[in-house]
Amino acid sequence: MRTLGIDPGTASMGWGVVEDDGQGGLRALGYGVLSTPKHLALPQRLQVLHRGLVALIEQFRPDTAGIEELFFGKNVNTALAVGHARGVALLALADASIPVQEYRPLAVKQAVVGYGHADKRQVQEMVRLTLGLEQLPRPDDAADALAIAICHAFVGPHRARSAEQ
């Protein structure tokens, strides 16, 4: 099973692809960020993100995907921008007929680290260990996307079975 994880954002959208290694573990197939130039207007930034995601989907052919749920913090403008990026990601996945599940940050941390209030460094280290990477994945958005992919690879099948019952 090949899983795409997405950490949405309009300036930088993290992505990570993991695959079952056939022995009960996971391996990273690729990760990075889709960045948009600051001088572009929002519609063009969203277009850049959409085109980038479509290219990643064509390259890696994921079977399923996980995406971070929208988190409303103190800054409403940031939440709106992330919402736009999430919409673009959900559209690209729907166009490719890839099933997607949404995860709260707390659930991702719980699945990856075992503790829902883990800090970024703890999450990154567990991502590194889980995937057998030599170094911490960088940048942070890519590490977050890998954590979402790991969470979905571990939790997604159980969620699907529960939904069927």
Q: How far is 66 from 87, CA to CA, in rounded Å? A: 13
Which residue in 7, 69, 95, 164 is the catalytic one?
7
Nearest to 148 by CA among 87, 96, 103: 103
Q: And the tokens for 87?
A: 């919409």
For this structure, is 134 an active site residue?
no
For this structure, is 141 an active site residue?
yes
Q: How far is 110 from 93, CA to CA, in rounded Å? A: 25
Phi, psi (5° rounding) for residue 15?
A: -140, 150
Q: Which helix (H) or strand (E) holds 24?
A: none
H helix intervals, the chain:
42-60, 76-95, 105-113, 120-131, 140-164
For this structure, is 63 an active site residue?
no
How far, rounded to the nearest angstrom, does the alpha carbon of residue 24 sit from its chain's CA centroid?
21
Which residue in 125, 141, 144, 164 is the catalytic one?
141
Which residue in 58, 68, 95, 144 is the catalytic one?
68
Active site residues: 7, 68, 141
